[in-house]
A and B are shown apart, each in its own frame.
Chain A
């Protein structure tokens, strides 16, 4: 019995997609990266509108030199767990930078954001406890639920009454963890955290918010949607990642809980994996410290995000959110065929965005997801919109022919 034969349907679907003559949306290779917003793809200079380089930090000269210095001083890797031989000065320094950025008493760094969620979700809620999570939660949150032993209950996306009802059905005395995200990454919509957190507290639940797609540009200090909505005293745990606004790789959780530090000793996705390379920790520290004073970048990120939403809408594209709510600006398409065809035309026109489809997307929608960077200019946005229109025209011409 071939264990891989269970994927025959997926193999057939993917080869069918490629047989229609389009480039593989899941096989993009960047042979050169010129800047946070430009790369060479298929030999062509391409505008990147599908990265999570929100704050444009990947090529920041201070960030790069911090990494270079740490690479020389501490070597290429730690070869060990944070709780054994894998904690170097840069790991402590990046955790201090996080405590300074978030104004919290503790910060724990994981090797990725995915692992931060695996670790937090599976360790916080144990046997006999309940996790109540938004139906559109990121895969890493769902996988954290599978790794742990809690009972898992789901509420309809961003639906306050739905959360209230589900919490009301749970035993009063049971431990409860409500898991939310500030910005949901598929449609780029923002959660009504104020209402959701209030409901969670009224039922005695603890709360964890994943702010992966909000760090750096929501809230007075860029801490996320929870800060913008005034919930710093109410949210128990905030999870984030270095792979988006920070511009490198790594994950973290911050908290003011007095017992938070014990997680280092009981959380498997933290202690049974190697720590981040010291150079990565050092780049993250430099980047986080610069994000504390990045008002001009924030302003530009919001400006280009709003402009792209307005431009695409004016050009007749159907937008996933009525207004631009975050730096993710998603276009709705009717089905897989038209989405892939449009994605292909865009890449041929030198525009890279993400193609997203069920089950990654909610409600079975097909999306071309654009995500902006503070490194985009308003002129870039004009070009992006123009190329979206050209790509659509090229498709219409092909159909007519």
Chain B
């Protein structure tokens, strides 16, 4: 189960990077659906880190393919 509060806020944070205007849900994929390049991902990750006062290690990123997985990771890192 994806934590609801993180998910809602995460979708807001992704908004400015959603250049293609796709509908964002838990299953939206960063590379395939949002077509985020590595530089955009970097900006988004930095914003998310500051929102929840966490560090998201680079080593985690390859495993976070969709919005739901990222929300789970945020919830976990927040502790």
Interface residues of chain A, those whose CB is within 8 Å of chain B, are 135, 145, 151-156, 162, 165-166, 169-170, 358-359, 362-364
Contacts and interface: CB of A to CB of B under 8 A. Distances in A.
Main secondary structure of the interface of A (DSSP, over half): mixed
A145 B39 contact: no
B46 interface: yes
Nearest to A132: B55
Given A135-B42, A154-B46, A166-B49, A359 B57 contact: no
Contacts of B49: 166
Contact of B58 (A154, A156, A162, A363): A154
A56 to B, nearest CB: 34
Given A166-B49, A170-B55, 5 more contacts: A145-B58, A154-B46, A156-B46, A165-B50, A358-B37
B55 A166 contact: yes
Contacts of B57: 151-153
B39 A358 contact: yes
Contact of A153 (B39, B50, B55): B55
13 contacts: A145-B58, A151-B57, A153-B56, A153-B58, A155-B46, A156-B46, A166-B49, A166-B55, A169-B53, A169-B55, A358-B39, A359-B39, A363-B39
A135 B45 CA distance: 11
Contacts of B53: 165, 169
Contacts of A152: 57-59
A153 B56 CA distance: 7
Interface in B32-67: 37-39, 42, 45-46, 49-50, 53-59
Interface in B1-48: 37-39, 42, 45-46
B58 A359 contact: no
A154 B54 contact: no
Contacts of A165: 50, 53
B54 A362 contact: no
A162 B39 contact: no
Given A154-B42, A162-B46, A363-B39, A169 B58 contact: no
A153 B60 CA distance: 10
A166 B54 CA distance: 8
B41 to A, nearest CB: 10
A151 B37 contact: no
Task: Give the residue among B38, B49, B50, B54 with the most A Cβ atoms within 10 A.
Answer: B49
